[in-house]
Amino acid sequence: MKKLLSFFLVIVFIVGFASPLHADVKAIYNLATLIIDGEKISVQAYNVAGNNYFKLRDVAMFLNGSEKQFSVAWNGKTRSISLITGESYSAVGGELSEGDGVNKRGLLSTASITKDGSRISPKGYNVSGNNYYKLRDLGDYFNFFVGWDGVKREIIISTSDSATSEDPENEDAKMVDKLAREILDDIDSPSSSSRSRVRIVYDWSREKLRYSSFSDYKNWEEAAIRGLKYRTGDCYVLCSTCKALLDKMGFETKMVTRSKNAKNIKHHWLLVKVDGSWYHMDPTKVQKSKSVFLLTDDELDAVVVPGRPEFYKFDKNLYPRTP
């Protein structure tokens, strides 16, 4: 009887601790538009926790014939994937499909991956038997450029440019500068005090920007373009938009990221340097919470968000201290 009880407890222990590792996640269907070396295609992707994931075989298929092509081989016995650079990809059927438009459940992929014989570890999800990965991760591994056209909402892929190509980022910076200048021409008051000028940006953002949960940006400039142009986005977009305006006005800013919570949901706000001191500013309207405008660390610690403890908890060692 004791042996049976011990065996039962071991099984409960294993199941109880192993299950969270393989808990499924919601994979939201997204028909993505890609411009690959100038050619437009539409292909299914899935958004998981704010990031878009693409089927590995789709990526191999649309890179096939380019200098960045790679082959894909699956070993069912070892549950491993072998990727070989320079080799042509052999289609197995179902590549570059637009999908069925239905949201799915996904599991964190446990398949081991080697590239040219060396182990790599991109984070991926298995959805309906296929492994999905981030395009930018694959771009880093196979050295092709992945960009984002925020105006046309298209993903730009260039096999002739490297993953670290600087030109598209410079274009983003130019666009941010142009859009921010147009807005500041209407709202800025250069003769006002520093605090008053920051308040102008804060009030403008709270009045003009609408919160939405979509987020998939390679940098803050790209997020700022969405906010400046379309006036909508998540907390990262709202902060990036304010950062663009404040930077253009000559203020020093830093983006703050909340410490991980139980649900691993990020939140962003700004530190702004005003008259030689840093202060917290959050353009996002947090429900049933006081406005966060030029607060010190202690004042931010005292902000209470009902039902969401430690909403503004962050690692103070990573950021400049306030008065």
Q: Is residue 14 part of a domain?
A: no
**298-312 confidence digits (pLDDT tens):** 999 999 888 888 889
Summarised one tens digit per residue, pLDDT across range 134-162 is 988 999 999 998 887 755 778 889 998 77
What proportion of the chain, given as a percentage, has pLDDT over 70? Answer: 85
Which residue among 141, 158, 175 closes a domain?
158
What is the average per-residue pLDDT within 271-288?
91
Task: pLDDT band for 17, please (50, 70, 90 cuts).
Answer: very low
| Contact in structure between 111 and 131 (CB atoms under 8 Å) | yes
Same domain, 196 and 71: no
* pLDDT beyond 90 at 117: yes
Select from 158, 183, 218 the last residue of a domain.
158
Number of domains in the chain: 2
Write the CATH number for 269: 3.10.620.30
What are the b/e assignments for 24-49, b being 16+ CB within 10 Å? eeebebbebebbbeeeeeebbbbbbe
Q: Tokens standing for 51?
A: 């990031």
Output the pLDDT for position 200.
96
Q: What is the mean pLDDT of residues 178-187?
A: 92
Asked if residue 69 is part of any domain, the answer here is yes
Q: Please say if the pLDDT value at position 284 is more than 80.
A: yes
In this structure, the answer to whether residues 112 and 179 fall within a common structural domain is no
Examine the domain organization and report whether 140 and 266 are in the same domain: no
Domain-located, residue 13: no
Do 122 and 173 fall into the same domain? Answer: no
Average pLDDT over residues 251-268: 82
pLDDT of amino acid 261 = 63
